[in-house]
């Protein structure tokens, strides 16, 4: 597919649709939308950023783009770990974060209606007074949008009991590439009057239409819960404990795994009581229910089953504070690993539990199997079989990048696909897994997906490069970078680009868009440090908009002192200007 460049007249028409305040062409702004959770390629810069306010504007934008064959990429908070919101073919980014209203909370009919930019945790905060909740709980719940969760069919740490996003979607409003606005599904809890068309859009990763409104079923909050943290010497004992839990019919709301390297990183990161934990394989298990008595009964059975498999250590959370501390051990995985290597890449695949021990062992041996000297891999898992092998490497080292790419290929071709696993459980195919789709599904199924995509989007304008329905493989995912300005102390940013900092940032809230967020500013500084951007008045203005309030410091899971970095950057810029003036 060949796409067209955006003409000056078309730019003007896009501006008229959204208004001048929601239309951005500056290169520095577009640059900040080029970074994914781990992927960076300086050739993947979008041509235009639009921030629509309603579905009518989106309809008009898509009509124009479709007619002129301009790529359109919908984007929420940009937390995708498969680089789903990046733009290898340029075009327009639709930043949907300002369509963030909770339109209706209807407890009587067990549903809520939201726009796609609503943040997951903010929705649950609004539901708390009603004693209800939206159960899917991704690790990025404090920043990820409901629209992004639907587009990727996100799961999370409570999926073992409560399922994933698709289990809660009742209806969708979507805009097709030709501009038509459709309503799919119904507001009632049961209906079979139509083909289940909304299911095609759940997990479609923005390739069939743009989601503009979502109706969700909700559930009552459990009244009680109890958590245990168990460490095993070997992975077989842990697996057998989980199998016995399943056989007994106990359904934990939370059942999570961490391997030895992950636990080692977390204990060093969190310190305090964790430093006394022995190293081993972790099982984090929690049960919840309607009453204290019910939960205590279930937990007692769960504890007995687990102890029969000889954990070398365990700790029971007897207070909410202890529970939050143990949960933090699981949620601190990425920041803990970020201290070991400059880059962390979280992969996502699912297997059957019966293959768990074999697969974990093979994943641990990947660096040795491919002779990768500096590569490390640590794994966590939602124990319905959804694995997250996390690769640690340095994107500034050419050999490291080659080893990482070989490791991902080895993971899918030699480990996951041969045991009948799937390429992704919740992150999506994104821009990185297309080469392996045919291995999992076969050519006929991949061709059928392409036919479905062509039916909805014959010009392939929506999120081109996403593997579903697109057999083209994007080579060169990571751009080789050469470090510049090494003396300026701006290189050790350690930013994982997770986006946890963006929702509370005062300047980002005011200016609406990515470069005015802490993550966006760090991306700009990253470009300056590598010589990919040149310092100018506009970049200086962006850096000066930081209020140095320090909120981003407290929100950063990696503990980056972002405000100190920005203050240091301002100091360097000021010194350079004074030097140039002299």
Share of the chain residues as helix, strand and coil, in percent rounded to the nearest 5: 40, 15, 40
Q: Considering the domain boundaries, does residue 347 fall inside one?
A: yes
At residue 511, the 3 state secondary structure works out as helix
Q: Are strands 102-106 and 72-75 parallel, antiparallel or unpaired?
A: unpaired
Q: Considering the domain boundaries, does residue 255 fall inside one?
A: yes
pLDDT at 580: 65
pLDDT at 485: 53
Element containing residue 227 per DSSP (H, E): strand 224-232
Residues with Cβ within 8 Å of 531's Cβ and at least 6 positions away in sequence, in order, are 482, 484, 485
CATH at residue 60: 3.30.43.10
The last residue of one of the domains, among 394, 413, 428, is: 428
Sign for the CA dihedral angle at 356, 360, 362, 366 comes to: positive
CATH at residue 361: 3.30.70.2740
Q: How confident is the model at residue 283 (pLDDT cuts 50, 70, 90)?
A: very high
For 300-315, the pLDDT digits (tens) are 999 999 999 999 999 9
Count how many residues are written for the chain: 582
Q: How confident is the model at residue 491 (pLDDT cuts 50, 70, 90)?
A: very low
| The dihedral formed by the CA atoms of 450, 454, 456 and 459, expressed in degrees to the nearest 10 | 130
Half-sphere exposure of residue 456, counting CA atoms within 13 Å on the CB side? 24
* Mean pLDDT value across residues 263-286: 92
Tokens encoding 274: 């964790």
Residues with Cβ within 8 Å of 527's Cβ and at least 6 positions away in sequence, in order, are 31, 533
At residue 461, the 3 state secondary structure works out as coil
For 470-480, the pLDDT digits (tens) are 766 565 555 55
**Residue 41 buriedness (CB in 10 A; 0-12 / 13-18 / 19+):** buried
* Mean pLDDT value across residues 438-463: 93
Q: Considering the domain boundaries, does residue 472 fall inside one?
A: no
* Mean pLDDT value across residues 126-137: 95
At residue 290, the 3 state secondary structure works out as coil
Q: Considering the domain boundaries, does residue 273 fall inside one?
A: yes
76 and 118 in a common domain: no
Q: How confident is the model at residue 95 (pLDDT cuts 50, 70, 90)?
A: very high
371 and 318 in a common domain: no
**Cβ 468 vs Cβ 205: under 8 Å:** yes
Q: Which of 359, 224, 248, 235 has its CA nearest to residue 296? A: 224
pLDDT at 490: 45
Instruction: Round to whole Å and give the CA distance between 272 and 264.
Output: 13
183 and 109 in a common domain: yes
Distances from the Cα of 241 to the Cαs of 40, 231, 257, 288, in angstroms? 41, 12, 12, 19
523 and 505 in a common domain: yes
Of the listed ranges 13-17, 255-259, 459-463, 556-560, the least confidently predicted one is 556-560
The residues that bridge with 248 in the sheet, in sequence order, are: none
Q: Considering the domain boundaries, does residue 148 fall inside one?
A: yes
Listing DSSP states for 1-59 in one string gives ---PPPPHHHHHHHHHHH-GGGEE--HHHHHTTSB-SS-B-TT---SEEE---SHHHHH
pLDDT at 352: 95
* Mean pLDDT value across residues 390-419: 91
Count the domains in the chain.
5
CATH at residue 230: 3.30.70.2190
106 and 75 in a common domain: no
Q: How confident is the model at residue 242 (pLDDT cuts 50, 70, 90)?
A: very high
Sign for the CA dihedral angle at 123, 124, 127, 133 comes to: positive
**Cβ 475 vs Cβ 44: under 8 Å:** no
Q: How confident is the model at residue 549 (pLDDT cuts 50, 70, 90)?
A: confident
Q: Which of 304, 328, 305, 307 has its CA nearest to residue 317? A: 328
Query: What's the whole-model pTM score?
Result: 0.91
**Cβ 144 vs Cβ 77: under 8 Å:** yes
Phi, then psi, of 72 in degrees rounded to 5: -125, 130
pLDDT at 496: 74
> Using DSSP, how many helices (H) and how many strands (E) does the chain show?
22, 19
110 and 169 in a common domain: yes
- Bigger pLDDT: 396 vs 240: 240
| Cα Rg, the chain, nearest whole Å | 24
229 and 312 in a common domain: yes
Q: Are strands 169-175 and 111-114 parallel, antiparallel or unpaired?
A: unpaired
Q: Considering the domain boundaries, does residue 454 fall inside one?
A: no
Q: Which of 463, 467, 457, 473 has its CA nearest to residue 71? A: 463
- DSSP state, residue 284: E
146 and 55 in a common domain: no
> Best-predicted range by mean pLDDT among 211-215, 435-439, 533-537, 552-556?
211-215
Distance spanning both ends of the chain, measured CA to CA: 53
The last residue of one of the domains, among 329, 357, 373, is: 329
247 and 186 in a common domain: no
Q: Considering the domain boundaries, does residue 259 fall inside one?
A: yes
Tokens encoding 28: 């520095």
Instruction: Round to whole Å and give the CA distance between 143 and 498.
Output: 9
pLDDT at 488: 44
Instruction: Round to whole Å and give the CA distance between 50 and 36.
Output: 19
* Mean pLDDT value across residues 124-130: 96
pLDDT at 487: 40
128 and 209 in a common domain: yes
For 496-509, the pLDDT digits (tens) are 788 888 888 899 98
Instruction: Round to whole Å and give the CA distance between 19 and 13.
Output: 10
Half-sphere exposure of residue 176, counting CA atoms within 13 Å on the CB side? 16
pLDDT at 473: 58
127 and 70 in a common domain: no
* Mean pLDDT value across residues 325-352: 87
Residue ranges making up the domain that contains 256: 224-329
Return the number of other C-beta atoms located less than 10 Å from residue 321's C-beta. Answer: 9
Mean pLDDT of the chain: 90
Q: Considering the domain boundaries, does residue 455 fall inside one?
A: no
The last residue of one of the domains, among 77, 95, 113, is: 95
503 and 566 in a common domain: yes
- Bigger pLDDT: 566 vs 357: 357
* Mean pLDDT value across residues 155-181: 94
């Amino acid at each position: 597919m060949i796409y067209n460049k955006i003409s000056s007249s078309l730019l003007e028409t896009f501006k008229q649709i959204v208004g001048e305040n929601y239309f951005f062409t500056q290169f520095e702004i577009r640059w900040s939308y080029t970074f994914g959770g781990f992927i960076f390629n300086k050739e993947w810069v979008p041509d235009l950023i639009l921030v629509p306010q309603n579905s009518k504007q989106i309809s008009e934008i898509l009509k124009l783009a479709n007619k002129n064959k301009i790529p359109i990429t919908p984007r929420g908070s940009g937390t995708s770990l498969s680089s789903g919101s990046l733009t290898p073919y340029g075009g327009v980014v639709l930043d949907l974060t300002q369509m963030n209203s909770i339109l209706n909370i209807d407890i009587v009919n067990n549903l809520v209606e939201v726009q796609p930019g609503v943040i997951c945790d903010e929705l649950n905060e609004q539901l708390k007074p009603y004693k209800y909740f939206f159960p899917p709980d991704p690790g990025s719940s404090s920043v990820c949008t409901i629209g992004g969760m639907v587009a990727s069919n996100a799961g999370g740490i409570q999926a073992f009991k409560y399922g994933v996003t698709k289990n809660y979607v009742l209806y969708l409003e979507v805009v097709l590439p030709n501009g038509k606005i459709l309503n799919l599904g119904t507001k009632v809890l049961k209906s079979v009057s139509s083909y289940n068309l909304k299911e095609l859009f759940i997990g479609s990763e923005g390739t069939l239409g743009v989601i503009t409104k979502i109706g969700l079923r909700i559930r009552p909050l459990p009244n009680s819960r109890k958590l245990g943290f168990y460490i095993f010497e070997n992975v077989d004992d842990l697996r057998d404990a989980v199998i016995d839990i399943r056989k007994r019919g106990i359904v934990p709301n939370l059942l999570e795994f961490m391997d030895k390297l992950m636990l080692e990183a977390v204990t060093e990161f969190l310190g305090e009581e964790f430093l006394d934990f022995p190293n081993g394989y972790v099982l984090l298990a929690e049960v919840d229910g309607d009453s204290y008595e019910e939960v205590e009964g279930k937990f007692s059975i769960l504890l007995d089953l687990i102890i029969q498999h000889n954990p070398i250590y365990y700790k029971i959370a007897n207070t909410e504070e202890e529970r939050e501390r143990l949960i933090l051990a699981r949620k601190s995985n990425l920041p803990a690993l970020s201290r070991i290597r400059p880059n962390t890449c979280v992969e996502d695949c699912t297997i059957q539990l019966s293959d768990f021990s074999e697969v974990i062992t093979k994943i641990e041996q990947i660096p040795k199997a491919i002779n990768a000297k500096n590569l490390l891999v640590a794994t966590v898992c939602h124990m319905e079989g959804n694995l997250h092998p996390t690769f640690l490497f340095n994107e500034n080292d050419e050999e490291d990048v080659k080893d990482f790419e070989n490791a991902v290929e080895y993971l899918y071709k030699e480990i996951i696909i041969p045991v009948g696993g799937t390429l992704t459980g919740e992150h999506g195919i994104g821009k990185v897994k297309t080469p392996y789709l045919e291995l999992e599904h076969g050519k006929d199924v991949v061709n059928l997906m392409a036919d479905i995509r062509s039916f909805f989007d014959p010009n392939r304008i929506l999120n081109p490069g996403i593997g579903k329905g697109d057999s083209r493989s994007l080579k060169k995912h990571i751009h080789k970078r050469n470090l510049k300005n090494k003396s300026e102390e701006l290189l050790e940013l350690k930013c994982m680009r997770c986006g946890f900092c963006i929702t509370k940032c005062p300047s980002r809230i005011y200016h609406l868009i990515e470069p005015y967020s802490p993550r966006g500013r760090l991306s700009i500084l990253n470009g300056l440090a590598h010589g990919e951007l040149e310092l100018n008045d506009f970049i200086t203005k962006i850096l000066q908009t930081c209020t140095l309030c320090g909120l981003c410091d407290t929100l950063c899971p990696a503990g980056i002192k972002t405000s100190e970095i920005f203050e240091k950057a301002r100091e360097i810029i000021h010194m350079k200007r004074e030097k140039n003036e002299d």
